[in-house]
A = this chain, B = another copy of it.
């Protein structure tokens, strides 16, 4: 009895588009290990990606097959739209086994049972949680199979969002606004970083008056002080000090859909240099959002940013954004289109991106981001939050 997050018809459409791509690439089956892709195809939602699991889609069988650990079969029945026969589970002695037994041995049996063991099988070779060992083991277990790389096959199917997906991203944006406000309010001289992190988490999980928030795929990041050039360090016990710049990057999450948001604040009176950088970043991001519309390429959006900041003597070529939405730790990005030089992906209506440009000098770091949807005529940002340098 799956939760009613998407109607079954939506999963069927997703599967149809996936099968079209499989056919184009000549796959008899694909083994989908990325937890976001597993969720996308089946609705399965559990913190079980620390053991080997996957969804198998074949050209012939109507329903995909969820394969995972025995103790997670109940979770699959509770969250996926699949019938019981499409949920196959391996016993616990496959988990961190001291003997020569690996979950992929069970997977090989399922692939045989699905009659594709001598077929052309796509594997997500560069996806999180599909290990080198899994690959070697499948090769050994199924010598007749022809394996090829299917990394990003489902990710590209995910790039255009449905109405329901967009609703969840809008809900995530409401949560992002609340959590950002909580973080900005909490930061101040003498306050330990972890207290600001706790305030942000409270916003992220309590959500709005109407609904709660899910755990985000990336924890709140708040590089501060000397560390605004270390974007992926997490909070410590250090108290914020007068003179600290702090960049907050976070995302609300709703049914695994995200709407990331970044803003910069300054503890005390900001230096004129940071104020100027803020003005440049705001002008740059607005220029980039202005050129978004169906038909433009990702690289042309980056170019609008780059040309704007160049007027102020700042010359840099960066990846300033990426397609995103559904995600599990460690990332909410889709790993498909990037807003950067050389990416010729053409934007289409209902694609969604996180645009996160910034400026760093030896002294300061300044970031402002927006998650936006491509509309029929332009870009619509999901969150409604002032674009400026804050002070704390």
Contacts and interface: CB of A to CB of B under 8 A. Distances in A.
A207 B236 CA distance: 12
A74 B223 CA distance: 11
Mostly, the A contact residues are loop
Interface string A55-92: 00000000000000001101100110000000000001
A126 B46 CA distance: 21
Contacts of A98: 338, 342-343
Copies of this chain present in the complex amount to: 2
B126 A149 contact: no
Contact of A78 (B71, B78, B151, B227): B227
Contact of A319 (B92, B133, B218): B92
Contacts of A232: 46-48, 71-72, 75
Contact of A233 (B46, B96, B231, B329): B46
| Max chain B Cβ within 10 angstroms of own Cβ: one of A123, A133, A213 | A133
A50 to B, nearest CB: 4
A214 to B, nearest CB: 7
Contacts of A47: 218-219, 221, 232-234, 330
A390 interface: no
A127 interface: yes
Nearest to A48: B232
A272 interface: no
A335 interface: yes
Contacts of A219: 47, 215
Interface string A210-226: 01111100110100000
A224 to B, nearest CB: 12
A213 B194 contact: yes
A168 to B, nearest CB: 13
A114 B192 CA distance: 41
A98 B318 CA distance: 15
Interface string A126-151: 11111111111000000000000101
Nearest to A205: B198
Contacts of A276: none
Interface residues of A, number: 76
Given A47-B234, A130-B132, A233-B45, A205 B213 contact: no
Contact of A131 (B130, B206, B237): B130
Contact of A206 (B127, B194, B322): B194
A351 interface: no
Nearest to A328: B330
Interface string A331-343: 1010110100011
A197 interface: yes
A305 interface: no
Interface of A: 3, 45-50, 71-72, 74-75, 78-79, 92-93, 95-96, 98-99, 102, 123, 125-136, 149, 151, 192-195, 197-198, 201-202, 205-207, 211-215, 218-219, 221, 227, 229-237, 318-319, 322, 329-331, 333, 335-336, 338, 342-343
